[in-house]
A and B are shown apart, each in its own frame.
Chain A
Amino acid sequence: MSIGWRKRLTRAERKIIENWVILYYDKVLALSLRLTGNRDDAQDCAQEVFIRAWKKYGTYRGEAHPMAWLKRITLNICYNHLNRNKSKRWDELEAENLEGDSGNVANMNGIDPALLKRLSPLERSVVIARIYEDLSFRMLAESLGTTENNAKVSYHNAIVKLRKLVK
């Protein structure tokens, strides 16, 4: 398609993506919520993920698990979203997610994830993709439009920052 016309999906291909919405919407939304920190943004991003998957289905070769491909798209969309909306990032985190859905923050055994709001969008995306999602540095670097080395440095810096905050 040299003149930029997007190939129309076949009926079978459309059906596959519709099934993905049914199967993986929750997972994509959960990852979006972890990355963006608020529910409205997460829902917008999750929708955008499937729209992009629909548009870019031609680039999916079926080598990876669909969810792995969707995770990479999610990471890219949420990272761009965070960069565009730096001022309001993670504003609703504590109110909506920590207290509302999972009970009192004080009852948590792990480290308060609200600390992640102190990180830059790149650092936060790398940390979440690494420690919560099964993404390698190479894959997440591709998704975030950076180098593998830069992703490793960002991860290291993020952990150092978080450890200082917890002390």
Chain B
Amino acid sequence: MNCKEVKILIPDLLREPDSYPEARAHIDECASCRAEMEFVEQLQQGLRQGFPDSSVIENIPARIALIRKMKIEQVRRPLVYALAMAALLILSLILTPLLQQRPESPEFYTYYEEETLETLLSLDLDKGMQLSGDEVILYLIETEPLQTMNELSF
């Protein structure tokens, strides 16, 4: 075994010194690995002292509160699913008739556009003159008031 392989086994050797005899033999002969083992052992001690298990003993009410929270969670999740499904059902009931009643595209627009084009083509305008959409409508109202007004108010 080389140093790299041995060094990652050091925590296991600290826990169970006889777990890897080959690695143990290597450490006995290798100063670098021995130094690393001492370092890891010191770090382990530091952690044990810095965070002793006894320092975090929680009282019973904290555990009871946690158990209660878990029970609420158990009840709440299916309730959330049920509410979500109910909301979806209600939405679909509301939206389905609305979607069915949606008006089709108005025919008069097409007719109006065709007529506009025809009218524009028949216009006797000066060269270079341009009309905006509103101006065209005004022109149509002026030239063919009855027919156009009926269409606009449709």
Contact = CB atoms under 8 A, between A and B. Distances in A.
Given A54-B74, A131-B11, A102 B45 contact: no
Contacts of B119: none
B56 A42 contact: yes
B52 A101 contact: yes
B43 interface: yes
A1 B124 CA distance: 75
Nearest to A101: B55
A97 B46 CA distance: 12
Contacts of A101: 52, 55
A12 to B, nearest CB: 14
A91 interface: no
B43 A110 contact: yes
Contacts of A127: 43
A27 B69 contact: no
Contacts of A134: 15
B43 A30 contact: no
A18 B56 contact: no
A98 interface: yes
Interface in A59-96: 93
Given A47-B69, A54-B74, A30 B50 contact: no
Interface of B: 4, 7-8, 11, 14-15, 36, 39-40, 42-53, 55-58, 62-63, 66-67, 69-71, 73-74, 77-78, 81
A139 interface: no
Nearest to B50: A113
Contacts of B42: 109-111
Contact of A131 (B14, B50, B70): B14
A139 B28 CA distance: 29
Contacts of A108: 45-46, 49-50
Nearest to B52: A102
State which size class the interface on A falls in: 35 or more
B73 A109 contact: no
Nearest to A47: B66
Contacts of A33: 51, 56
Contacts of B66: 21, 25, 47, 50
A98 B46 CA distance: 10
10 contacts: A17-B70, A26-B53, A34-B47, A34-B51, A54-B73, A108-B50, A111-B42, A112-B46, A137-B8, A162-B43
Interface string A38-60: 01001000010011001100000
Nearest to B15: A134
B74 A14 contact: yes
B111 to A, nearest CB: 51
Contact of A111 (B8, B39, B57, B62): B39
A93 B7 CA distance: 28
Contacts of B49: 102, 108-110
